[in-house]
Amino acid sequence: MITQSEYETFRDNINALIQEYREKFSVPMITDSKEYEATYRKRLLGMSMELRSTIDHASSIAINEFGRPSLLDAKEKAFIILVKEIMKLSNRRMAYELPAVWN
């Protein structure tokens, strides 16, 4: 059982720790839409460069499949799966968006 004064001390300390954490580790929110778009474009460029190297690596270690021939090659499959995961899309949403992106 803790006393009221012990609880208040804990509460004050935890609030101070939360505030310190927010100051050190929070990402500043960008409210200017032009700055946000520029930052987003930079991040997408970096992601696309990383994605290309990941796709090249993934397709180089892909093995031939058995059964019915696939309509997509290994690079295309890797691209679809990685984009789905990066954009946090469900399988259904990715299947819906795929014709627009792929054509």
Per-residue pLDDT 10s for the chain (103 aa) are 778 888 888 888 888 888 888 888 777 777 788 888 888 788 878 877 888 887 888 777 766 667 787 777 777 877 788 878 877 888 888 888 777 555 4
Encode burial over 54-82: b for 16+ CB neighbours within 10 A, e otherwise. ebeebeeeeeeeeeeeeeeebeebbbbeb
Question: Minimal CA–CA distance to 53: which of 35, 37, 75, 32?
Answer: 75
pTM: predicted TM-score of the whole model, two decimal places: 0.45
Residue 94 DSSP code: H
